[in-house]
């Protein structure tokens, strides 16, 4: 303590020696009677040097103006109240004003987010290449390359890159001619983009329940919801799990329905050895920053039909004829992806296998650390399907306590989506949701990022 004090008229060499004395990086300044009259932090010192002070200059009163102080015996709560983002060091004085101690508030600076993009030198190089080429809008080599490489990865003939995963669903509906008067069956447990896209197309969504084991849309419920107005089904491969594509495609065939697979959360997931996105008439993907691979914002529609591919390309570009510039043959949109986004996508695609393996490994580490606590049930591996880990997903009867405890320790937790039909704006589209409700109440996602401290999480959760 003593070494970190210095006199009000010390020179800067003495000041920095005092600052350097204790890890708090602060000098406590005393007056001619040895009473505390100010503090100077290492940041204050830096600013003084920038103002032109030299080591031989002496401190003056203006160098250590007002400061926050506490009296000996004040409670921890009172001390904490005196701290803020800027004020982290509180000197403690006795009744006469002599320094007796100090309090340092060390707030947790390491926040563990739920997801973060993995961007490195390849993304940077491709992005800079696109940038310096000046092809920064929706033409350029990376668009073609990204469309070709990602559709090859999924196992589809054509990929149409678009500006995000929501417009991808809308474009798919428009290209299939789904609109007013048509009913579209979707799961009640999904992100709202799925239903919003249906409503944007002026069609009527029908919200059906999911399967308790896979958490994905239930073929039995689809069958029950079908009526003469039903035009399409949008199975969502939610939380990285593949839907029962055999059951769904059989139903679609039997009732002559279109199928749009929403694969936003399941890049690389498989059903019976085939990647999701290669079953329906059209599949849609999202490349938002928290997705398995990202382009910042971005999406893609995928199909094996040359005709649908052609229609979607035309529609994403204002409905303009692909042969005759400024000749519009249909009402279209500007749903194009930029070459800059596609450049990032190409780099991401080069490491998609590693990212999928890494995420599987994250889930394994959670299981190893937390299974013995018996608090959590993990997403199921289902025979014949390969689920991918988008965000590590689990269920728990103690969801609230787990979420609170982790958040208090700066570890993010994401609750599952609410059932769409529980929200007043969508409730009139309800068909069935018993399982979806249960899953929504118990489900949560855990951080799926590098450097998760699994040991710390175990310690935190063992105390709840
Ligand atoms: C199931 C599902 N569908 C669609 C989307 C929409 O994608 P985007 O955010 O790229 O518009 C998301 C995005 O989070 C999603 O989770």
Residues 6+ apart with CB under 8 A from 108: 409, 410
What letter does residue 442 receive in the DSSP assignment?
Answer: H
Contact 341, 295 (CB under 8 A): yes
Low-confidence residues in the chain, pLDDT < 50? none
Q: Could you identify the atom of ligand 1 that is nearest to the CA of residue 197?
A: 4
| The pairing of beta strand 270-271 with beta strand 385-386 | antiparallel
Residue 30 phi/psi, 5-degree rounding, is: -115, 155
Instruction: Report pLDDT for 78.
Output: 85
Q: Which of 288, 301, 391 to mutate to test the pocket of ligand 1 (most atoms within 8 A of CB)?
A: 288
Q: Could you identify the atom of ligand 1 that is nearest to the CA of residue 290?
A: 14
* Tally of CB atoms within 10 A around 43: 12
In three-state secondary structure terms, 201 is: coil
54-109: pLDDT as tens digits: 888 999 878 877 899 999 999 877 887 888 878 889 999 999 999 999 988 766 56
Tell me the CA–centroid distance for residue 458 and ligand 1, in Å: 31
Q: Which of 117, 161, 164, 166 to mutate to test the pocket of ligand 1 (most atoms within 8 A of CB)?
A: 166
Q: Which of 283, 286, 301, 344 to mutate to test the pocket of ligand 1 (most atoms within 8 A of CB)?
A: 286
5-29: pLDDT as tens digits: 999 999 999 999 999 988 788 999 9
Nearest CA to ligand 1 atom 8: 165
Instruction: Report pLDDT for 104.
Output: 84
Contact 185, 226 (CB under 8 A): yes
Per-residue tokens: 132: 């310096």
Tell me the CA–centroid distance for residue 9 and ligand 1, in Å: 63
Residue in 297, 300, 334, 298 with CA at minimum distance from that of residue 314: 334
Q: Could you identify the atom of ligand 1 that is nearest to the CA of residue 297?
A: 10
Instruction: Report pLDDT for 134.
Output: 97
Tell me the CA–centroid distance for residue 341 and ligand 1, in Å: 17
Going from the N-terminus, what domains does the chain have, and what CATH number goes with each? 2-104 (3.10.580.10), 121-351 (3.40.640.10), 353-461 (3.90.1150.10)
Looking at the chain, the whole-number percentage of residues with pLDDT higher than 70 is: 99
**Which residues make beta-bridge pairs with 91?**
102
Instruction: Report pLDDT for 109.
Output: 62
Q: Could you identify the atom of ligand 1 that is nearest to the CA of residue 169?
A: 4
Q: Which of 114, 161, 164, 165 to mutate to test the pocket of ligand 1 (most atoms within 8 A of CB)?
A: 165
* Tally of CB atoms within 10 A around 116: 14
Residue 114 phi/psi, 5-degree rounding, is: -70, -35
Instruction: Report pLDDT for 368.
Output: 97
Q: How far apart are CA 47 and CA 49, in angstroms?
A: 5
Q: How far apart are CA 171 and CA 285, in angstroms?
A: 12
Q: How far apart are CA 56 and CA 41, in angstroms?
A: 18
Residue in 209, 202, 239 with CA at minimum distance from that of residue 223: 209
Tell me the CA–centroid distance for residue 68 and ligand 1, in Å: 48
Residues 6+ apart with CB under 8 A from 459: none
Residue 126 phi/psi, 5-degree rounding, is: -65, -40
- Provide, for the chain, the percentages of residues in helix, strand and coil under a 3-state DSSP scheme, each rounded to the nearest 5: 40, 20, 40
Q: In degrees to the nearest 10, what's the CA dihedral of 210, 214, 220, 225?
A: 30
Pocket of ligand 1 (CB under 6 A): 164-166, 190-191, 193-194, 236, 262, 264-265, 286, 288, 299
Question: In sequence order, what DSSP letters do the residues of 139-164 get, joined into one string?
Answer: -SHHHHHHHHHHHHHHT-SEEEEES-
Tell me the CA–centroid distance for residue 304 and ligand 1, in Å: 22
* Tally of CB atoms within 10 A around 257: 20
Tell me the CA–centroid distance for residue 263 and ligand 1, in Å: 9
Q: Could you identify the atom of ligand 1 that is nearest to the CA of residue 238?
A: 1
Q: Could you identify the atom of ligand 1 that is nearest to the CA of residue 237?
A: 1
* Tally of CB atoms within 10 A around 344: 26
Helix (H) or strand (E) holding 43: helix 42-50
| The pairing of beta strand 258-262 with beta strand 377-378 | unpaired
Helix (H) or strand (E) holding 184: strand 183-187
> Cα 245 vs. chain centroid, distance in angstroms?
27
Nearest CA to ligand 1 atom 10: 165
Distances from the Cα of 229 to the Cα of 171, 183, 203, 226, 257, angstroms: 20, 6, 10, 8, 10
In three-state secondary structure terms, 89 is: strand
Q: How far apart are CA 171 and CA 183, in angstroms?
A: 16
| The pairing of beta strand 258-262 with beta strand 230-233 | parallel
Contact 322, 122 (CB under 8 A): no
**Active-site positions?**
291
Tell me the CA–centroid distance for residue 434 and ligand 1, in Å: 23
Contact 14, 58 (CB under 8 A): no
Tell me the CA–centroid distance for residue 288 and ligand 1, in Å: 7
Instruction: Report pLDDT for 107.
Output: 60
Q: Where are the alpha helices (DSSP H) in 179-330?
A: 193-200, 219-225, 245-255, 306-316
Q: Could you identify the atom of ligand 1 that is nearest to the CA of residue 286?
A: 10
**Which residues make beta-bridge pairs with 11?**
58
Per-residue tokens: 272: 């019976």
């Amino acid at each position: 303590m003593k070494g970190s004090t210095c006199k009000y008229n010390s020179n800067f060499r003495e000041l920095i020696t005092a600052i350097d004395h204790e890890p708090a990086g602060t000098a406590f300044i005393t007056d001619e009677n040895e009473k505390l009259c100010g503090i100077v932090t290492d940041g204050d010192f830096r600013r003084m040097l920038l103002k032109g002070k030299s080591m031989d200059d002496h401190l003056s009163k203006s160098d250590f103006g007002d400061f926050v102080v506490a009296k000996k015996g004040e409670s921890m709560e009172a001390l904490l109240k005196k701290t803020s983002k800027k004020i982290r060091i509180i000197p403690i004085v006795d009744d006469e004003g002599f320094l007796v101690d100090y309090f340092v508030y060390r707030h947790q600076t390491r926040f563990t987010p739920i997801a973060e993009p993995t961007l490195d030198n390849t993304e940077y190089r491709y992005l800079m290449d696109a940038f310096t080429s000046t092809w920064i809008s929706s033409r350029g080599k990376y668009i073609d390359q990204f469309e070709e490489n990602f559709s090859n990865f999924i196992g589809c003939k054509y990929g149409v890159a678009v500006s995000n995963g929501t417009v991808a669903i809308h474009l798919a509906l428009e290209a299939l001619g789904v609109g007013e008067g048509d009913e579209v069956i979707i799961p009640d447990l999904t992100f709202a983009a799925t239903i919003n896209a249906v409503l944007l197309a002026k069609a009527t969504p029908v919200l059906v329940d999911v399967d308790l084991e896979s958490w994905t849309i239930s073929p039995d419920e689809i069958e029950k919801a079908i009526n003469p107005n039903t035009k399409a089904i949008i199975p969502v491969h939610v939380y990285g799990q593949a839907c029962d594509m055999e059951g769904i495609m059989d139903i679609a065939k039997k009732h002559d329905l279109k199928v749009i697979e929403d694969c936003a959360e399941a890049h690389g997931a498989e059903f019976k050895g085939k990647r999701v996105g290669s079953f329906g008439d059209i599949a849609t993907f999202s490349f938002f920053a928290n997705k398995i691979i990202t382009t910042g914002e971005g999406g893609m529609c995928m199909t094996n039909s040359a005709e649908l591919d052609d229609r979607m390309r035309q529609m994403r570009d204002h409905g303009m004829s692909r042969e005759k510039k400024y000749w519009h043959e249909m009402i279209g949109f500007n749903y194009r992806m930029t070459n800059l986004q596609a450049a990032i996508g190409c780099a991401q695609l080069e490491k998609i296998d590693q990212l999928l393996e890494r995420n599987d490994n994250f889930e394994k580490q959670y299981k190893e650390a937390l299974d013995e606590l018996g608090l959590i049930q993990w997403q199921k591996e289902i025979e014949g399907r390969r689920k991918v880990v988008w965000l590590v997903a689990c269920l728990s009867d103690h969801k609230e306590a787990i979420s609170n405890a982790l958040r208090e320790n700066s570890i993010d937790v994401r609750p599952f989506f609410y059932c769409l039909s529980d929200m007043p704006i969508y409730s009139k589209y309800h068909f069935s949701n018993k399982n979806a409700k249960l899953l929504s109440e118990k489900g949560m996602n855990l951080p799926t990022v590098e450097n998760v401290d699994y040991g710390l999480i175990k310690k935190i959760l063992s105390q709840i």
